[in-house]
Structure 1
Amino acid sequence: MLEGAEASRLIKAVTEQAYNAVLITDGALSSGGPSIVYCNPAFCRMTGYERSELLGRSPRLLQGPDTDPAVIDSLRQALRQGRFWEGSTVNYRQDGEPYFVNWSISPIVDDCGQVSHFVSIQQDITSRVRAETERDMLIQALNQAHDPVLVTDRDARIVFANAAFEELTGYRTEEVIGQTPALLSSGEQGPDFYRTMWQTLNSKRPFQARFINRRKDGSRYYVEQSIAPVLNKGGSLTHFISTSWQVDELVEREKALVDMATRDKLTGLLTRRAGDDALLRAHQEHLGKDTPLSVIICDIDHFKQVNDRHGHLSGDRVIREVAGLIERQLRAGDPAIRWGGEEFLIMVQASSGVALGLAERLRSAVEHFHDPKVGQVTLSLGVAEILPGESIEQLLGRADGALYRAKRSGRNCTISAAGN
């Protein structure tokens, strides 16, 4: 245990060599006191004063225009009450430059129980305050931004979300902090999409794409999103920052343009060109996965007479009604195509047996339909299933031949192509 002179020398060495500024004043609170009786080199470096310029003077010489009066009042009250105090404000160096200081003051009591001195430990926190101020300004700017901004750590845990993000997604910031952006996933973009995203980001390159996301209430929305990796001075990945802008209206316009190009204006079914593309894709899948593929070609019976007797408006109405009846009978994933004027093609990704059953349901549904002006309407249908090594053209030729035989057989009937 250190005692006497040895302890004194150690205490002096500690205060003289301390990284933090140390200031000791006497305990006099009157006549402008207390006065400085000791300051260490760190205090001199912080304030720009020589020790000789500080001893015997009041610490008030460090105060200036931006020193917070409320902080000083709180300090003085603590000194008068002889209790510990801690706070921060702006002080001024000898050259007039302001700095932010955080300090704690402890009263030193003598053997009689009276406060004889005050010891203050001080830190220059200017860099920290400026960093916090810049951060707060950045947060304020990001919160005022019109577009959503999201920041995650390198493990993709959300650390910041701005007000626009809250407005778009319906999630409050406190609900998403610590979560990953996966909570926004709609499930409509597969693993390959996100694998590509992470491969790009982990290679420290930005990633931009259209995301299909889901709000807190379950509704879907589209955003063009740009995600940038944030690197520290050493080049290590620390965060990701994402900015996005909602493109729901753009997507709707794009869909409308696609529909104009791929959907028949009268019936809403696929156009012949779009149907050709769908058949090509189905044929490629058939070749790649050996999946079954059948087609139904059907034609409204005696349609020329409908136009000749009742006019083209009635003819258009009948085509539209028959198209609606066909579409309501179809399975999901089996597209209907307006193949010609009054001719339709249905692509069925199943065997000819399934396709024949569907064709008969179509025939029956149309047979039981009566147009108020034209009367009964019927269909003739030809069905064909693709054969090994057969092209789309050959498949369609056999289905068309079956349709021709159905018409020759009295119409209002379904015939399967030879070879099925």
Structure 2
Amino acid sequence: MRQNLKSLALVLLVTVVVLNLFMFGLLSYTLNASYQRTIDQVRTNVTNLALMMDHSITGAAREIVLVVEELQYYLDRELAAGRQLPPEELRQLVRDREGWIGHIARLHISNADGLVMSAPPEYRERLGFAQLDAFHQLRENPDLEQVITQLVRSPISEDWVLVCLRRYNLPDGQFGGVVAAAVDASYFVGLLSDLDLGPHGIALIRDLDRRLVARHPPLDAPPGQTGAIGGSRELTALMDAGVATGLFYSQGTADGIPRTDAFRRLEQLPVVVVAGLGEADYMAIWRHDRNKAMGLGLLFFLVTTLGAQLLWRQVRTSYRANRRSRMLLQHASDGIHILDEEGRLLEASNSFFQMLGYPPLGNTLRKVEQWDALHTAEELRTLITGAVRYNRTNTFETRFRHRGGHDFPVELTSVPLEIDGQPLVFNAARDITERKKVEEDLRIAARAFESQVGMLITDADLRILRCNEAFSRITGYQLQDIVGRKPNLLQSGRHGKSFYEAMWHALNTQGSWQGEIWNKRKNGEVYPQLLSIGTVRNEAGETTHYVASLSDISARKATEEQMRTLAFYDSLTKLPNRRLFLERLEHAYAAVQRLHTFGALLVVDLDNFKTLNDTEGHTAGDLLLEQVANRLVACVPHQEAVARLGGDEFVVLLDNLSADQVEAARQAEKVAQDALAALGRPYQLDQAEYRGSASIGITLFGSGESQSAAEVLRNAHLAMSQAKISGSSGWCFFDTSMPEQVRERSEIDAGLRIALEQDQFVLHYQPQVDDDGRILGAEALVRWLHPQQGMISPGRFVPIAEQNGLILPLGNWVLWAACRQLAHWADDPRLAHLTLAVNVSANQLAQADFVDRVLAALTETGAPAKRLKLELTESALAQEIESVIDKMNQLKEHGVSFSLDDFGTGYSSLNYLNRLPLDQLKIDQSFVQGMLQDTNSAEIAQMIVLLAERMGLSVLAEGVETPDQQVALQKRGCHQFQGYLFGRPMPAEEFERMLLGRD
């Protein structure tokens, strides 16, 4: 045994060493991988920061260049026209353009000698650009249009600036001067200050001569001053190598902080940008993880060492315990005996032999079947084999055979164990003869009294004599707590004197009473109870005892209440549901009719709730609904006034309003306004903040009107739908025209399908003309020729078609009808030059087979593709721009042209606009109609014309209604027009007569 202990000690030592080596290896690998991830992440971060700086600075540069080009274009045009621009006009011109980019740069216009002509007279002779090399380059090189300087002292203000100079020419082509935009270095400081660089990060801009343009955070030292020449060795090496981008690690910086930096050379400006993150910042987390790993390794070492020590102590203790066990075996009170798998007796305690009537020594007991009187030999072997095989402890009752011939009951506990590799069964037998007798007596005595029902017995004076366990379990009172006391200690105080008088009357007259009662437990809890009381009388008819049986019916009551809640209340918000709400609406309607007052019903529907569910999940949606319910309850006089009909729809029922209809409407409006304000406040959904809104429909009811509750609810729904159409976060009162509007909308929805089947649509054509009024083409506009209602404008049916999906077959019909008309014009030499513009919806453009549909229409009708112009809106380009560009390029290859309709009214990315294969921009009619009164509209129209000229596109203004509008557009360079001034949309025959009549 001692040799086994030594071997076990060696195994424990080797195990501890191997585990600790593995743990330290795993921690080292993890820390190294974490370090590499940290380095990769910081490189990605500084690269993104440098890219953000590039985009920000390049965007500003593009704005400057666009304005400078516009000024140069204006000067060239005016000088070519023979105009001499006085200084005051130049100053006004500069002030107007500085309104666009004044936050970025200062604009100046100089003459051929470099003097600033746009400056006030007292400064004009002293200010100029003649000392700049860039000025001389532009003057001496006619082919050079624009130069952007590196960081220089401003010839105007002596500040450090970057100057963009652009040449403009005299009418004879000679150098006339420059248009200059000077950007202060301080502007770039503002751009850099918005970057999140951490405590030790840096962002700086240097020109190609390594002069410092801007730095954040600022450095209070000569190297940190604007214009200072410097830079780390790594940055200098990258700039000298001429690379465009790069990453480097710098230690020898001006502030002595080691960093990982990203470098980018800008294309638009002669500068480089550098973004760096401090090593102390991005390595802090890794160093913290390293310290934790070292602590974890040390802790693991201590735990394994301590565990080995504890295990070793346990083994030694077990060794000592084994020795003691053998001694205790012989002195145990139970009959302890150990059997092998065959049921042979290996060892037993003295008490075992005494139990069976045998002496401890010299007995003849060898196998279990000699003393077990209940089981056969085969059953005993099965029990022993099962205990060993399944390794389970089993306690059961059996009968042992005494040496004297009688048997007796025993309780036997069998425990499988293994000693020195041999499976054995340890048995402890206890003689339970006396216990069986006691149990039998108790069973007979308790059967009549003990049950799951609480029992209480009192004498004739109501003094408690006895209670059962069920009573103690229900009330919390044990027998010793209540013996001698009266049952009134259980009273809850919820029942009055008359209740108990009725109970005692039944007991005295009928001998029993049964009913539900509220009683109180020992801990003070009041609970519902089903109580039955009976009177026990002797042979003389005198009352000797009272016997009460009681049951706790809390669970049943809770179930009933839960069923009621599920039937009448919403499980999420705990508000009344539709069923309970309709009942309350019926009662409220009857009440206002009786009192001759008004009530109001508000239907509240959340805006964009489906979007929240789709993007954030139903958990976020449930959180929002709970908060909405709480806010609505806070806006009304009592909680029962609010209910949830389902989904994101709530109702607010206001009864007992004023008898005056106007005052009642004002009261309902006040509640709606309060509700919208409450629902418009931010919501906290887990860790995210969400802002929502709602639409509310209001209807009044009562004061003599004859309506059902369903009609009131329907009217409120109609008003809510109108509020949604009018825009989010609004409310709307029901009026009698709404059902008619709904009916009309439904008729149009159903009629559109029939109109497509029966070909009830026609195309009208609005002329598009040039400066001289010559008709260049037309725009095809769809009309619905209804057999009963006559001509229906697209404003009534196109929005409905977009909602119900019929815009796709309708748009396809328009395309084919337009192509057939083009083919007809192509056969007539007088009409063959006409182009035809067809509007294309975003839904059509999103179809995968859009290109095939257009080409099929052209091929099968024989229409010339070069005369077909597809008009797109900015909304059609808002999604899947790459797919849109690809489809446009495919059709462009076949000759189809494209026009961008309503330009300037939506969101157009200039980056995507430059890539779109457009042929024409259309100035929206809102700018055309407002340009004579609004200078902003006129300026926007001017910029659209200039942009189109730069991109090589034609420009067409729509909505032209007066000659003054046409003249204003011509002055700004627009020479194609469409509008009522030249003709309304008309049938094809009328359009052709108009065209041929002009010819």
Higher-Rg structure is 2
- Interval containing the TM-score (normalised by the shorter chain): 0.3 to 0.5
More helix by share: 2
Q: Higher RCO, 1 or 2 (CA under 8 Å, sep at least 6)?
A: 1
Per the normalisation by structure 1, the TM-score is: 0.46
